[in-house]
């Protein structure tokens, strides 16, 4: 059996049926022979970040095991976005779906296409809260996800009753 790497993927969106898009993205990734979706966080409703004059987002995280390289995993995430009509026209703007490779094993990658661990995830409650559902003890930049979570503003984030399925 090929070596696998534990990876975490952030999911989000704020246009259309975002929950359905998130579920479709999980199903797409899970249907790949070299990706196994192991766990899914709760789904959170979060205020927009960056550009604040837009609808609120739904956010979640997925834990996967993959024998793909980090770049190949990113390509699968981008393909899922494409199938779900993701348009990239405004940075931090509205989107049907967004998939980010947050962590890929213990690797540190800095390229034009991919940066892991995601360089700003420790500053973003909408990433840290669902990550904590999956692995609060995971160390990122010298602190656990739980410790980073104590340093961000969680006041407007709302837990939803929506449940993504494997």
Residue 100 is among the residues annotated as catalytic for this protein: yes
The whole-model pTM stands at: 0.93
pLDDT tens profile 45-79: 999 877 778 899 999 999 999 999 999 999 999 99
Please tell me which residue in 55, 98, 153, 161 is annotated as part of the active site.
98
Residue 92 pLDDT grade (very low, low, confident, very high; cuts 50, 70, 90): low
- Report in angstroms the alpha-carbon separations of 71 from 6, 62, 111, 117: 14, 17, 10, 13
- Selected catalytic residue, list 17, 86, 133, 153: 86
Judged against a pLDDT cut of 60, whether residue 40 lies above it is answered with: yes
Under CATH, domain 5-159 is a member of which superfamily?
A: 7,8-Dihydro-6-hydroxymethylpterin-pyrophosphokinase HPPK (3.30.70.560)
Calpha distance 71→129 (Å, rounded): 25
The active-site residue out of 17, 88, 89, 95 is 95
- Domain residue spans of the chain: 5-159
- Cis preceding linkage at 98, omega within 30: no
98 among known catalytic residues: yes
| Banded pLDDT at 90 (limits 50, 70, 90) | low
Q: What is the dihedral of CA 35, 36, 38, 44, to 10 degrees?
A: 50
Is 124 noted as a catalytic residue in this protein? Answer: no
Q: Which residue has the higher pLDDT, 86 or 150?
A: 150
Active-site annotation holder among 17, 53, 55, 100: 100
Over pLDDT 90: what percentage of the chain? 83
């Amino acid at each position: 059996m090929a070596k696998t790497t534990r990876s975490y993927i952030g999911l989000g969106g704020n246009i259309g049926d975002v929950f359905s898009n998130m579920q479709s993205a999980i199903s797409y990734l899970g249907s790949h022979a070299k990706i196994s979706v192991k766990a899914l966080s709760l789904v959170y409703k979060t205020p927009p970040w960056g550009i604040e004059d837009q609808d609120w987002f739904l956010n979640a995280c997925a834990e996967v095991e993959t024998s793909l390289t980090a770049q190949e995993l990113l390509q699968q995430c981008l393909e899922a976005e494409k199938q779900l009509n993701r348009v990239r026209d405004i940075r931090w703007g509205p989107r049907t779906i967004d998939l980010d490779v947050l962590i890929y094993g213990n690797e540190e990658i800095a390229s034009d296409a991919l940066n892991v661990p995601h360089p700003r995830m420790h500053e973003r409650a909408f990433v840290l809260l669902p990550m904590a559902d999956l692995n609060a003890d995971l160390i990122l930049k010298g602190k656990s996800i739980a410790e980073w979570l104590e340093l961000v503003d969680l006041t407007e984030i709302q837990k939803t009753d929506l449940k993504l399925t494997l």
